[in-house]
Chains A and B, each alone.
Chain A
Amino acid sequence: MSGESAADDRARARSVRGLRRTAELVGIGLTGVVAAGMLGFLLLYWARDLPVASDLYVAFRSLGRGMDAAFGTNVFRHPIMWQSMAVGVLVGVVAPLVGSFLVHREMALIGETLAHTAFAGVAVGILVTSSTGWNGSLLLVALAVGIAGALAVQWLTERTDAYGDVPIAIMLSGSFAVGTLIISYGDGLTGVNIQGYLFGNLAVVTPEGARLMGALALIVVAGVALTYKQLLFITFDEQAARVARLNVTGYNTLLVVLTAVVVVGAMQVLGVILVAAMLVVPVAAASQVARSFRETVYLSVIVGQLSVIGGFAVSIGLGLPSGGSIVVTAIAVYLASVVGSGFSVRAISTHG
């Protein structure tokens, strides 16, 4: 009798697992389709003057107008809005993807630090642009400074033997301080909307910025896909990974560089101050209910996507900044996951 009931329990558990797996795959499949659609739009917008693409682009604009007519909005007819949505959707994929490792590595403070370093990068970009007349992308400069910052953070953590240590905190506020000084020095030289970079603004997204985000998203997804196993092992048990002769320092460096890449891309819509939230909050929400690490990654990306789409709806509907709207939506999803998991908050430390 007890054998039968144990067999029943196992069969029930298998069936629940099967349902969860199906739901996961459907969710991640939809997320993938939306992200691929947005990448497609970026490509189309880039190539809209070419023969075949121009016809497609005209058709796409009609579709946008049709959507506005259907929803009673004045959003989808504007390419700039699609551009911003594309950046948001891609951020919703890559930030939680990298964040899944970062949070469980107790390195979330690194994300915050790199966001502030990237801000210093934007400031340097503004200075270079205004003093030399160079007409390059601010984000490319921010990316270069962000990656340099990531390597510096890794160098510091290797030597201080602790993530989230005092040198990291000094770097966090130090790079922000340098950024504000540079901006103050170059005040009035350019018409750059610095507030947009601080708090996130749909209007900050330029065509170059959106294309850069598209390329960065592909790099991040490929980087994580190729090193998933190694990153998982190092995140779970770094010492055992070292004994297994994995190049732990190399993979840690890759993780912080990917974080810098995500942060620079995400800065456009989320803003420097809020960008780290997208690395952390979707992962915290997913970790509340996930039954495996793979499920955590999938759910984080799905939560990230829901937060971005929901946040955009709030931002556009109420005329509020996009960064705050997205983060508040993500926190609402997190609270729902806490309620859904019976109020048992899984403690995740954000620093070592």
Chain B
Amino acid sequence: MTAIVALDGVTFAYGDTVAVSDVSLTVEEGDFLGLVGPNGSGKTTLLHLMLGLHEPDEGSVELFGRPIDEFDDGGRIGYVSQKATSRGGAMPVTVRECVTMGRFARAGRGRLSAADRAAVADAIETVGIEGLADRLVSELSGGQKQRAYIARALASDADLLALDEPTVGVDAESRDAFYALLDDLNDEGITVILIEHDIGVVTERANRIACINTELYHHGDTESFVESDALAAAYGTDGQVVHHHH
């Protein structure tokens, strides 16, 4: 197994406020890692550290086996930020234009090739939004937006999908369909890192869980997480996993 992401003793603070403290973990190829923790526990910061959006104050980060500051193959990562999914901005960008952005890291300054366009069309088809390709992203529902962003990640032939609370504001039916799509992509070998506030959803989908509240309370397979008291410890309550049945 190859480590897609490897964190070693990573600490990060915003000024005097420590957001992530001494976290070490690895994400292996093909993993579906659920990143859970209470609000403000440092989940998004940890994901940003993994992707190189923040530089750790202490410790080291490796992406695809390379030190984070030397990693330059951005096309291998498909990232859907919290801001992107909740963005209600008026920028008139079509679904096709949005998905095409997935090819930009690979295309450089040159024109997009026929292969690039084919990859975009394939990605749109894979997530099932062919009929929406010429619609504006700002006009889509939450669930449709998710699919557009996932298609953008697929268009780049990403090996790693990193998703930060992708189903906020999405109805239950669309959310189930979205997670079924993530399952399929994971089955095809794409590594997934998912931040999700609904722990029930995460434990149903993910095969690995990292539970943090500034410090890492658990990192391991989902079964051991469900049986452990990491959840209660991280949340500071007697919390337990509730499974949904839609």
Contact = CB atoms under 8 A, between A and B. Distances in A.
Nearest to A242: B53
Nearest to B134: A17
B97 A243 contact: no
Interface in A242-297: 242-246, 287, 290-296
Interface string B140-164: 0000000000001000100000100
A272 B41 CA distance: 48
A239 B84 contact: yes
Interface residues of A, number: 32
B109 interface: yes
A347 interface: yes
Interface string A289-330: 011111110000000000000000000000000000000000
A243 B94 contact: no
Interface residues of B, number: 36
A106 to B, nearest CB: 9
B59 interface: no
Contacts of B53: 239, 242-243
Interface string B100-117: 010011010100100000
A347 to B, nearest CB: 6
Contacts of A30: none
B194 interface: no
A308 B92 CA distance: 24
Contact of B90 (A230, A295, A347): A347
Contacts of A245: 71-74, 105
Contact of A290 (B71, B81, B92): B92
Nearest to B89: A104
Contacts of A243: 51-53, 74, 77, 79, 162
Interface string B76-100: 0101110110010111111011100
Main secondary structure of the interface of A (DSSP, over half): helix
A229 B52 CA distance: 22
B79 A293 contact: no
A24 to B, nearest CB: 13
A232 B101 contact: yes
B94 A291 contact: yes
Contacts of B81: 237, 239-240
B129 interface: no
B146 to A, nearest CB: 14
A240 B84 contact: yes
A50 interface: no
Contacts of B77: 243-244
B13 interface: no
A181 interface: no
B105 A246 contact: yes
B136 interface: yes
Given A227-B109, A229-B107, A246-B105, A294 B91 contact: no
Q: Which 10 A-B pairs have the closest CB atoms?
A: A245-B74, A244-B74, A244-B105, A346-B90, A243-B79, A104-B91, A292-B94, A239-B81, A290-B92, A233-B101
9 contacts: A229-B101, A233-B101, A235-B91, A243-B51, A244-B77, A245-B73, A287-B92, A291-B94, A348-B90
